Amino acid sequence: AAKSAGKRQWSRFVPGLRVRVTERHDLRARLDRAISREEFALRYQPVVDITGGQVIGFEALARWPQGRCGPVPPGQFIPLAEETGHIAPLGAWVLRNAVADMARLQRTAGRGLAPYISVNVSGRQWQDADFLEEVSKAVETPGLAPGSLQLELTESVLLHRDDRLDRVIRSLKELGVRIAVDDFGTGFSSLRYLRDFPVDTLKLDKTYIDDIPRDPRQAALVHGIVCLARTLGLQIIAEGIEQRGQRDLLTSMGCRFGQGFLFARPLTVEQSAVALRKHYGGGPGPALR
């Protein structure tokens, strides 16, 4: 009783804190229900050749549209799902649906169009025992063009190299899965993993791109990273391009690919099909470099 009285007192003095804790608890319960009822949705943001706007792939982005106070952003529910252990089933759902949508897109696009589908995989999922099994099922999705699945991981996953991770990455490569490093440059700053792992793509974080038109040092840094990627034979994708000035600078630096609101926002499958018909730019493989 004394304890709860203490809590009440606390909440009287710091109302904001108490609200946040309650909201969090509530969010957790709703996440539980949302997983079991599959209340999530996917959007697809085109990855484009920034010189001409041609679509070379799509990134699947999870959405939770029907939170009680409207949509809940992934920046909120993904970390929560990681904490509660929900990320494994949620991640599996994303993977299954993203490849199914992409197989359908590739089929209806016709003419051998094979954009790739890039799926975010959180650190926790890599630890999951069923992860490889789910990926191998995903690449066998009927109608999915070979080599068109890419998985995005963050630098932190590659930081702690061990036999298990080596094995997982090797198996993924054998399945023809491309590996991308997401939010490149924001994690712990060791670059050794670029030597140790067969990474295909670097996705340069938006925070690196934002200021390049105004900040010469930032621009020089980005230019250096673009050169590094090209020297290593990696595809580099600039994230979060919003302005023409950014695009033009990136082009002059030799960065060919990007994502951002300047080109397209995350789209529904139907909108993706339209974008694909209008602006297709080459399937997976060497053309991507």
Q: Which stretch binds Mg ion (CB under 5 A): 160-168, 187-195, 235-243, 273-281?
A: 235-243
**Distances 176 to 76, 135, 144, 198 between C-alpha atoms, Å:** 32, 11, 12, 12
DSSP code, position 232: T
Instruction: Return the number of the residue (260 or 283) whose C-beta is nearest ligand C2E.
Output: 260
CB of 259 to ligand C2E, least distance (A): 5
Number of residues that bind ligand C2E (CB under 6 A): 22
CA distance linking residue 226 with residue 236, whole number of Å = 7
CB of 206 to Mg ion, least distance (A): 6
Contact pattern from residue 172 through residue 191 relative to Mg ion, giving x for each residue in contact according to CB under 5 A and a dash for the rest: ----------xx--------
**Distances 149 to 52, 55, 99, 145 between C-alpha atoms, Å:** 23, 15, 8, 9
For 76-122, give the DSSP string.
HHHHHHHHHTTHHHHHHHHHHHHHHHHHHHHHHH-TT---EEEEE--
Host H or E run for residue 60:
strand 55-63
Question: Which of Mg ion, ligand C2E, none binds 210 (CB below 5-8 Å, type-dependent)?
Answer: none
Q: Is 61 in the site for ligand C2E (CB under 6 A)?
A: yes
Q: Is 281 in the site for ligand C2E (CB under 6 A)?
A: no
Phi and psi of 175, rounded to 5°? -80, -5
Q: Which stretch binds ligand C2E (CB under 6 A): 155-163, 190-198, 224-232, 253-261?
A: 253-261
**Distances 150 to 12, 58, 239 between C-alpha atoms, Å:** 50, 10, 16
Q: Which stretch binds Mg ion (CB under 5 A): 72-80, 113-121, 189-197, 229-237?
A: 113-121
CB of 253 to ligand C2E, least distance (A): 18
Phi and psi of 63, rounded to 5°? -130, 145
* Residue of 122, 148, 150, 235 that binds ligand C2E (CB under 6 A): 122
Of 146, 150, 160, nearest to 112 by C-alpha is 146
Q: Is 120 in the site for Mg ion (CB under 5 A)?
A: yes
Instruction: Return the number of the residue (50 or 121) whose C-beta is nearest ligand C2E.
Output: 121
Instruction: Return the number of the residue (46 or 284) whose C-beta is nearest ligand C2E.
Output: 46
Of 232, 238, 187, nearest to 209 by C-alpha is 238
Q: How many CB atoms lie within 10 A of CB 31?
A: 22
Q: Are 209 and 246 in contact (CB under 8 A)?
A: yes
Q: Is 150 in the site for Mg ion (CB under 5 A)?
A: no
Q: Is 266 in the site for ligand C2E (CB under 6 A)?
A: yes
Instruction: Return the number of the residue (30 or 101) whose C-beta is nearest Mg ion.
Output: 101
Q: Under the rule (CB under 6 A), what is the footprint of ligand C2E?
A: 45, 61-62, 73-75, 78, 91, 94, 120-122, 182-183, 239-242, 259-261, 266
Q: Under the rule (CB under 5 A), what is the footprint of Mg ion?
A: 120, 152, 182-183, 239
